[in-house]
């Protein structure tokens, strides 16, 4: 009997958890999102990070929370532009797929990113069959409140 046989649900973060931070994908995502924000806010790229840090300090949680609460940008447009990512730096890891498939119970994603991003990452990682679409709890499902 496994020491985890009593576990009925597994909760996973997405970014830098189901793929290694060393891929550089999160840095790529941050750059694309900062470009999208700079465009929507009509500010210089150098101003984006301090702006986001101020939102986190004011509202807590993730930058999405502050952006939504302040109605600072068109969130749908930001999701469309800020998540046009090159997934080429990610790849399927058979060992990860196999390990996750061995876990008994429900498997859930809890992410500060939107569902479309989670779906794209899971597909690229070969994990779409491991995590069902209904098992993704994303920032939009939480009314842009962060985890």
Express each pLDDT in 2-15 by its tens digit: 788 899 999 999 99
**Domain-located, residue 128:** no
**Domain-located, residue 43:** yes
The pLDDT value given to residue 140: 85
Parent domain of 32: 26-82
The pLDDT value given to residue 40: 94
**Domain-located, residue 98:** no
DSSP string, 34-95: HHHHHHHHT--HHHHHHHHHHHHHHH-S-HHHHHHHTT-S-HHHHHHHHT---GGG----HH
Instruction: Sort strands 9-12 and 106-110 into parallel, antiparallel or unpaired.
Output: parallel
**Domain-located, residue 127:** no
List phi, psi (to 5°) of 78.
-60, -45
146 vs 62, residue with greater confidence: 62
**How much of the chain, in percent, has pLDDT values that exceed 90?**
73
**Domain-located, residue 116:** no
**Domain-located, residue 51:** yes
**Domain-located, residue 96:** no
Distance CA 87, CA 118 (A): 12
Place of tokens 């995590």: 131
**Domain-located, residue 63:** yes
Structure tokens, 90: 């990610």
- Over residues 58-90, the pLDDT tens digits come to 988 788 788 888 877 898 999 999 999 999 999
What's the mean pLDDT in 92-121? 94
In total, how many domains does the chain have?
1
What's the mean pLDDT in 83-109? 94
Confidence (pTM): 0.89
């Amino acid at each position: 009997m496994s020491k985890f046989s009593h576990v009925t649900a597994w909760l996973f973060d997405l970014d830098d958890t189901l793929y290694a931070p060393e891929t550089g994908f999160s840095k790529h995502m941050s750059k694309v999102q900062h470009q999208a924000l700079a465009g929507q806010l009509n500010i210089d790229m150098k101003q984006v990070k301090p702006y986001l840090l101020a939102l986190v300090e004011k509202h807590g949680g993730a930058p999405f929370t502050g952006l939504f609460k302040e109605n600072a940008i068109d969130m749908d447009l930001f999701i469309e532009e800020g998540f046009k990512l090159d997934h080429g730096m990610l790849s399927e890891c058979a060992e990860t797929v196999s390990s996750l498939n061995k876990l008994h119970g429900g498997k859930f994603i809890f992410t500060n990113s939107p569902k479309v991003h989670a779906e794209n990452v899971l597909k690229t990682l070969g994990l779409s069959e491991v995590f069902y679409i209904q098992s993704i709890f994303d920032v939009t499902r939480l009314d842009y409140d962060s985890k």
